[in-house]
Structure 1
Amino acid sequence: MPLLRCLCLLALMIALPAGAAELKVDLGNGLQTFDGAQLVARKDARDIAIPADVAYKRATRYRAVPLKSLLAGIGPKDHLQFVASDGFAAEIPAALILDTHGAEAWLAVEDPKQPWPVLPGKNVSAGPFYVVWTQPEAARIGPEQWPYQLASIRKLDDVAARFPSIVPAASLPANSPVRHGFEVFQRNCFACHTLNGEGDARLGPDLNIPHNPTEYLRADLLRAYVRDPQSLRHWPQAKMPGFSASVLSEGDLDALLAYLRHMAGRKHTP
């Protein structure tokens, strides 16, 4: 009898489907959970082509759902956070998803029966969920706005309201390069780094405590590091990507460094 029970249990385990990957979405009206099968069965799901995939660095094709239809109910003044399973936390204004003048955000869904290839230099794929963009150049979509291995999407207050210790001094004029640098920081750095101990990302080190990089790197070396981290410290396991001029212009880089120098004088211990 024990043997028969074991055989029956084994047969049941084989018959049951493997645990489906789930995406959690909270837009302030209660948590919703979607699995891959639900998403690809939606009427608005379709096959899309991505000519220059940020994660795979080549042309790709996906089964995907328009992101703005999945996030129905958000407004242009809302703010969204996309959190990946590895600790990456992209902060994306809802306006960028709702009205991008030609660019369109999609949620690509990995089919467990046909898994995506592993990412370059990694041993995992971009799945099970990955935000991709068609015509990203129309809205200057940066690489940090392509979160992969996505686990959750949440509507939250904007970054300045949630993390006041990363905000520049209120006395700065509206046209200050530091204020522009703060915007650049949010778009390109905050998905991986905290500052003054504030932020939800868990991938990179804090950029102000105990020391700001402008305090221990010459300006030319810091610029080189942002452009190509491996040019300064060769480390095969490093996760930080380089930011080319097509992604981060010289003007944006100037503003980012101005913001970091400014924040070096505004340290807050969490």
Structure 2
Amino acid sequence: MRPLLRCLYLLVLCFPLSGLALPAQVTELKIDLGHGPRTYNATQLLARRDVRSVAIPDDVAFKQLMHYRAVPLKALLDGIVRGDHLQFVASDGFAAEIPATALLNDLGSTPWLAVEDPAHPWPTLTGNKGSVGPFYLVWANPEAAGIGTEQWPYQIVSIHKLADIAQRFPVILPDSALPTASPARRGFVVFQRNCFTCHTLNGAGDAKLGPDLNIPHNPIEYMRADLLRAYIRNPQSLRHWPQARMPGFDTKALSDADLDDLLTYLRHMIDRKARYDSPR
């Protein structure tokens, strides 16, 4: 098989993010911060006194100005403190890991839980990708605190307070002997923010959308660097598939420097393959 055709063939095998069945419609949101779970439905949340109308100029899901009825997320996360870590799980298996420092920032980025009114449903996503509702984390002024596109989970079914990623999944950590400011360590931060929401690595992680990025093979091992970069920037540029689920990361979402560091981290992890043993 010719090298390019072989690369594209492996790409289809190792990035099967398309053709997935759409998730069932979410009806309830479960929040568990360690002192007993609470469950909400859209009617309950929309009846709260603190619900507001918010305008989101550059909405991540719809790529345009959107207006929502929303509850201040901090009001639903009473008791969390800086240093806590939260996981937002979507019905399709997306799992956003967001530190409380981002949610509690005092830089002007405000998190809102947008709630879809059953009587006035939101538009469906383009490309037959279904609804984002009824629970969607949106941000006012996200740039102020450096909030990335992967920190806008929608179709949320649960919010949990958990230990941070490094404690839960040590097999994804770079070598502890690396300098603090090394590219691989910086790339690990980029990986957590942009990749770990959909992918596992060394079998570790809670996301259910994408394939593992190190076992059995790391994409660095079978894909030319220029093709991998192109795929991350725009998956449709390598293989056009209308039902593809993986988004592209432009330079606004992922700078060239961050992409360089991410690829350095993935390259570093080739020699750190290890099966994750889930706690029983």
Task: Output aligned runs, 1:250-265, within 5 Å.
Answer: 250-265=256-271
Does 1:165 find its partner at 2:187? Answer: no
2:159 aligned residue: 153
Q: Which amino acid aligns with 1:201?
A: A
- Distance, in Å, in 1 between the alignment partners of 2:51 and 2:133 is 17
Residue of structure 2 in register with 1:55 after alignment: 61
1:119 aligns with 2:110: no
Quick check: 1:100–1:138 contact (8 Å CA) kept in 2? no
Shift in alpha-carbon separation, 1:237–1:123, aligned structure 2, 3 A: closer
Measured in 2, the distance between the counterparts of 1:123 and 1:71 equals 29
Aligned to 2:272, the other structure's residue is in SS state coil
CA contact (8 A) 1:166 1:196 kept: yes
Given that 2:128 and 2:243 are in contact with CA atoms closer than 8 Å, whether structure 1 keeps it comes out as: no
Residue matched to 2:200: 194
Letter in 1 for 2:250: S
Q: Deviations over 1:175-206 (max 9, x none)?
A: 11111100000000000000001100000110
The one-letter amino acid of 1:127's match is G
1:241 is aligned to 2:247? yes
What is the CA distance between 1:122 and its match in structure 2?
Answer: 2.4
> Matches of 1:31 and 1:213 in 2, distance apart?
39
Find the aligned partners of 2:129 and 2:202 in 1 and give their Cα distance.
32
Query: Per the alignment, in what secondary structure is the counterpart of residue 64 of structure 1?
Result: strand
Does structure 2 conserve the Cα–Cα contact (< 8 Å) formed by 1:89 and 1:192? yes
CA distance in 2 between counterparts of 1:201 and 1:70 reads 23
The aligned counterpart of 2:235 is 229
Aligned position for 2:10: none
Secondary structure of the 1:264 match is helix
* Alignment correspondent of 2:6: none
Residue 186 of structure 2: SS of its match in structure 1? helix
Distance in 2 between the 1:71 and 1:137 partners?
A: 22
Change (3 A) 1:240 1:140: same
- TM-score normalised over the length of structure 1: 0.91
* TM-fit CA distance, 1:143: 1.0
Displacement of 1:121 in angstroms is 1.1
Residue-by-residue CA offset, 1:54-94 (whole Å, 9 max, x unaligned)? 11111110000111111011001000000000000000001
Letter of the 2:174 counterpart = P
Q: Give the 3 Å change call, closer, same or farther, for CA 241–20 of structure 1 in structure 2.
A: closer
Q: Does 2:57 align with 1:41?
A: no
1:85-100 aligned at under 5 Å gives the runs: 85-100=91-106
Structure of higher RCO (CA pairs closer than 8 Å, 6+ residues apart): 2
2:181 maps to 1:180: no
> Which residue of structure 1 aligns with residue 11 of structure 2?
none
TM-score (norm 2): 0.88
Alpha-carbon displacement from aligned partner over 1:155-178 (angstroms, at most 9, x marks no partner): 000001001111111111111111
CA RMSD across the alignment: 1.3
Native 8 Å contact 1:224 1:232 kept in 2 = yes
SS for the counterpart of 1:61 is strand
**Deviating 4+ runs (over 6 angstroms):** none
Q: Deviations over 1:80-110 (max 9, x none)?
A: 0000000000000011010150111100000
Conserved 8 A contact 1:20-1:36: no
Figure out how many residues of one structure are paired with residues of the other and give that number.
252
- SS for the counterpart of 1:208 is coil
Consecutive unaligned residues of structure 1, counting only runs of 5 or more, are 1-18
Provide the rounded CA distance (Å) in 2 between the counterparts of 1:231 and 1:41.
45
1:122-157 superposed Cα distances (whole Å, 9 cap, x missing partner): 242110100000111111211110000000000000
State the shift of 1:220 in Å.
1.3
* Residue 29 of structure 1: aligned partner: 35
Alignment partner, residue 111 of structure 2? 105
Residue 229 of structure 1 and its aligned partner are, at CA, apart by: 0.8
Partner in structure 2 of residue 5 of structure 1: none
Asked if structure 1 preserves the Cα contact closer than 8 Å seen for 2:26 and 2:91, the reply is: no
